Amino acid sequence: MSGGAPTHESDLSEKFRRLIEVGLALTSESDVSALLSRILFEARRFTCAEAGTLYLVTPDGKLRFSVVQNDGLRRSEVLVGNASQPITIEISPTSIAGWVTGTGSTLNIPDVHDLPGNCGYQFDSSFDLKSGYCSRSMLVVPMKSPAGHIVGVIQLINARRPGTEECTTFPKEQEELVLCLASQAAVALNNARLTSELQLAYSEAIHRLARAAEFRDHDTGEHIERVSRYSAAIAEALGLAPSDVSRILLASTLHDIGKLAIPDSILQKPGKLTAGEYAEMKCHAKMGADLLAGSENPTILLAAEIAFSHHEKWDGTGYPRGLRGDEIPVAAQICAVADVFDALCSSRCYKTALSSEEACEFLRKESGRHFSPQVVEAFFAVIDKITRIRSELPA
């Protein structure tokens, strides 16, 4: 997105057509950071601006440098900070971006080094000094939400004369166009944020549901988190699509959700289970599947598949259905390896933990018997990642 200089489009009607296209494209981008880069890029493309900055208004009322693009510099990303150390400035009428945020008006400045003495705002040259860049002309527009709130500011720097490297001023007619683009961008940003919030809430609800089952099974600690992350790592090694990997990451947390229906007397029994108790314990697979059945959501459906089949064995000796080989859904084949590896490495009220080497040896021995050989191979392909997850989430 940031590669290459924006091309000039001189015809105004062509620009309006393009504006509509960009507006539609922006609404389909749900990744907030990709969206912000795209907004700034498109605004620069419309105006042939060599550089630009997109600021967002933070919840604590500051302006955050969110995207910096500069075709005249190689290290513009250095100036934008990162998620843990964002660069912010106060919303003050004495700064150009602060003035635009405060007033909601556009500024079209021919030369930032030649501002009228009585305008109230000043050009902050510190970023130019740090980077060695020279800002001249600027077009600065507010990003206004449909409710009229300013959610950010687009600052376009150094318009280039079409077909040349020469810097010029931003034509008056571009003000309306960029303002229009900024409003579309504000709507798209709001939508992307809502989508992201919904996804987070959804993911959190699933984790909390999984924890409800784990809660009663006191010994298992971070078992669910580890199994989920091991499963995703294996799925990635198997070459599954990123969307499937994300789905497995979430769905595998629910593999033992059926344990909610198992009595404490069995779940927390310190000694060996009787044959009857073991038979009852085995019901958690079917119960989990029943609990999750009937959803129209693909992640919940996958979770139902995993819950139902994570105790099946490659050679057909598992439960509850005695599926064999590829009859077992891939996600359940994956979760089986992750689940058993983690259970072996964890101490429980009825057993001590094996070392990681011993657990690995077990997986190798059971490849083609308990486990899919391909999944075991994928597990060992990412053993470093598995070890890292184990150290981050100790048993």
R_g of the chain, CA atoms, integer Å: 28
Instruction: Out of 15, 62, 144, 259, pick the active-site residue.
Output: 259
Alpha carbon distance 307, 303 (integer Å): 6
Nearer to Fe ion, 44 or 226 (CB): 226
Instruction: Report which DSSP code applies to 50.
Output: E
Shortest Cβ 245–Fe ion spacing (Å): 19
Least spacing, CB of residue 290 vs Fe ion, in Å: 14
Site for Fe ion, rule CB under 5 A? 256, 339
Compare residues 174 and 228 and give the one whose CB is closer to Fe ion: 228
Q: Are 183 and 149 in contact (CB under 8 A)?
A: no
Comparison of 158 and 253: residue with beta carbon closer to Fe ion: 253
Shortest reach from residue 265's CB to Fe ion, in Å: 18
* Angle at CA of residue 240, ends 391 and 354, nearest 5°: 30
Q: Examine the residue annotation and report whether 259 is marked as an active-site residue of this protein.
A: yes
**Would you say 38 and 26 are in contact if contact means Cβ atoms under 8 Å apart?**
yes
Tell me the C-alpha distance between 279 and 205, whole Å: 30
For residues 67 and 337, which CB has a smaller minimum distance to Fe ion in the complex? 337
C-alpha neighbours within 13 Å on the C-beta side of residue 362: 17
Q: How far is the CB of 341 from Fe ion (least distance, A)?
A: 11
Minimal distance, residue 284 CB to Fe ion, in Å:
6
Indicate the SS3 state at residue 143: strand
Q: CB neighbours of 138 closer than 8 A, spacing ≥ 6?
A: 96, 107, 108, 109, 112, 155, 156, 157, 158, 170
Pick 50 or 222: Cβ nearer Fe ion: 222
CA angle 210, 321, 249 (to 5 degrees): 30
Peptide bond into 6 cis (omega under 30): no
Residues with active-site annotation: 259
